[in-house]
């Protein structure tokens, strides 16, 4: 009888805890598609230091805004974003992962963030506005720091 009660309790616990676990991979893929759709709508938006709206974005403002549009709240700066999520090797990137760079000539660490959209491409806010670039671009390739999956 004790084994039966333990088994029923364990089954109940597993079913109950599934209500509070992270989204499934299907939901995550759907969220990534929605995120990228929202991000692509903003291509051409001008750069604005500290910008967090479609009037103008800096890199982390763009990532913050697009995630907020799909209901996910992130920290405001690229350095703070880099502290979140699970580290992902460059060879295992998936659409929706955040990709980080050091574009500073004097500082170490992270100073730029972009959204990976697949096919070795990122979408981000640069001094030329929101645009898509290749991770193989010599500039971005040399500045790559790492990636995170939220």
Q: What is the DSSP letter of 3?
A: H
59 is catalytic: yes
Residue 41, CB half-sphere, CA atoms under 13 Å: how many?
11
- Cβ–Cβ < 8 Å for 97, 103: no
56 is catalytic: no
List 36, 64, 112, 130, catalytic entry: 112
List 124, 126, 130, 140, catalytic entry: 124
89 is catalytic: no
List 36, 59, 93, 110, catalytic entry: 59
Burial of 65 (0-12, 13-18, 19+ CB in 10 A): buried
In DSSP notation, 105-126 reads SS--S--EEEEEEETTEEEEEE
Catalytic residue IDs = 59, 112, 124
């Amino acid at each position: 009888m004790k084994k039966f009660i333990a088994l029923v309790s364990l089954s109940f616990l597993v079913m109950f805890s599934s209500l509070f676990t992270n989204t499934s991979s299907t939901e995550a893929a759907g969220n990534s598609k929605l995120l990228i759709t929202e991000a692509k709508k903003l291509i051409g938006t001008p750069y604005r230091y500290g910008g967090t709206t479609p009037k103008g974005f800096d890199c982390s403002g763009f990532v913050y805004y697009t995630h907020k549009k799909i209901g996910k709240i992130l920290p405001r700066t690229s350095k703070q974003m880099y502290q979140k999520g699970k580290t992902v090797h460059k060879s295992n990137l998936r659409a929706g992962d955040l990709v980080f760079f050091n574009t500073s000539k004097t500082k170490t660490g992270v100073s730029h963030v972009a959204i990976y959209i697949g096919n070795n491409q990122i979408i981000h806010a640069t001094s030329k506005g929101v645009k898509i670039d290749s991770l193989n671009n010599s500039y971005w390739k040399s500045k790559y720091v790492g990636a995170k999956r939220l």
